[in-house]
Amino acid sequence: MVFSSILEETSPLFFVAATMTVLGGILLIFHAFRLLPFSRRERTKGGLIFQAMKALASACVFLLGLFLLMVVLFAQTYEAFTREEPVARVQCVSVEGLDYDMVLRFVPIGGEQEGFPRLFRLRGDQWAVGGHILQWHPWLNILGLHTGYRITRIEGRYLKPEDELSEPRTVFDMGNSRTEVMWRWLYRHHDEIPFVGAVYGSTAYTFPGEDRTFVVTVTLSGFKVAPDQKS
């Protein structure tokens, strides 16, 4: 699963550049070896020049492949450490005179598809989205593997800690009992898996906004909430 995801996300130019670098390096070593004194004793002057030209061409292929490889790795590194994957679209408005303070509309996003919207009634000053984060080792991020996640709860949040203790709280479970077993195992044993960097919880929260749509994204370090630039 991990390696298939890497193959899907890795740019085709990476494989082209890697092939050029390896092939050019092999040919360069081969032709350079043919130019050594003990390997050209019976070669004419014209043959020596032709062999030198082939070595030079191999060097050009090797250097071009190496240059392209560095460009691709730089681009993938930048994309890996700045990527923000949309996971939900949220609209939340304040209400008055009712037994709750906010109405939240939650629409999950998977790839390019939006899921079925759900409505939640929340108490508090802010709305919050929380869940699990699986962080891979940086070299896997560079190769194209993105942060693993699962949203497990939507809740209302009070600004004052004393209100969290005295006021009614609203928390909605978004998890799945089957996947929760897997995540609990990862929390306890992630340090035994060579390619996993960390497993931890993350929560993002903000105030409700009238006539505003928010996008929940998952970044390299966790969940993030920001206004939807398209709305």
> Mean pLDDT lowest for which of 10-19, 124-133, 183-192?
10-19
Which residues, including other chains, have CB under 8 Å from residue 123's CB and lie 6 or more apart? 100, 101, 102, 156, 167, 168, 169, 170
Report the SS3 class of residue 79.
Answer: helix
Domain ranges for the chain: 2-81, 83-227
The angle at the Cα of 32, spanning 67 to 52, to the nearest 5 degrees, equals: 90
Report the SS3 class of residue 108.
Answer: strand
pLDDT number for residue 203: 95
Region at 160 (left for phi over 0; alpha for psi -120 to 50; beta for the rest): beta
Say how many Å lie between the first and final Cα of the chain, rounded: 35
pLDDT number for residue 10: 55
> DSSP characters for 163-219?
HHHHS---EEE---HHHHHHHHHHHHHGGGSTTEEEEEEEEEEE---TT-EEEEEE-
Between 47 and 133, the higher pLDDT residue: 133
pLDDT at 12 over 80: no
pLDDT category at 177 given cuts 50, 70, 90 is confident
CB 62 within 8 A of CB 32: no
Between 78 and 146, the higher pLDDT residue: 146
pLDDT tens, residue by residue, 109-134: 987 788 899 999 999 999 999 999 99
What angle do the packed helices 45-82 and 12-34 form, to 10 degrees?
Answer: 150
Number of H helices, E strands in the chain: 6, 10
